[in-house]
Amino acid sequence: MAPHRVAILVLPRVLPIDLGIPTQIFNTRPNTPYELTVCGGAGGSVMTSTGFTVGDTAGLPALAQADTIIVPGYWEYQRPPAPEVAAALKLAFSRGARIASICTGAFALAAAGLLDGRTVTTHWASADELETLYPGSGWTAVSSTSTTIRC
């Protein structure tokens, strides 16, 4: 059986705790069904919110191969991700990939237009900002820390 391919999309100023959780869970190791790839917008290194870098990430083409994509929270969530990031997320969604976010990663999914008609969760302190930045998108905000948009 082929492994389930998981891609973690690391946006600039990613929150290390939000990155650490899915990498620990889905790390490629013996006797697990997962193949993990950490990818960034342009590939290469990505700076975290605490100042260290996550090095040697794959680029956005890795999203095209993923069965599941996870977007961890990131510090500058009020800014939409680069257009090519939003386009890659939309393309992955359209081909049936499962896409989830942790904490403020929901803002990237909203910016990509993937939350319409869904119940959305984000960090409780950011829920009002999500509604303010992306009004009228047909989704319902629920304060929490994670979002799954396709099961």
- Of 143 and 41, the one with more pLDDT: 41
pLDDT of residue 150: 47
Give residue 151's pLDDT band: very low, low, confident or very high (50, 70, 90): very low
Count structural domains, the chain.
1
pLDDT digits (tens, 9 = 90+) for 46-88: 999 999 999 878 999 999 999 999 999 999 999 999 999 999 9
Helix, strand, coil % over all residues of the chain, rounded to 5: 30, 30, 35
* Mean per-residue pLDDT over the chain, rounded: 89
| Domain span at 21 | 4-148
pLDDT of residue 61: 94
Rounded to two decimals, the pTM is: 0.90
Task: Give percent of the chain with pLDDT exceeding 70.
Answer: 89
14 HSE (CA, 13 A, CB side):
28
**7: DSSP letter:** E
pLDDT of residue 127: 84
User: Buried b vs exposed e over 96-115: b needs ≥16 C-beta within 10 Å?
Assistant: ebbbbbbbbbbbbbbbbebb
Q: What angle do CA 132, 136, 141 make, to 5 degrees?
A: 60
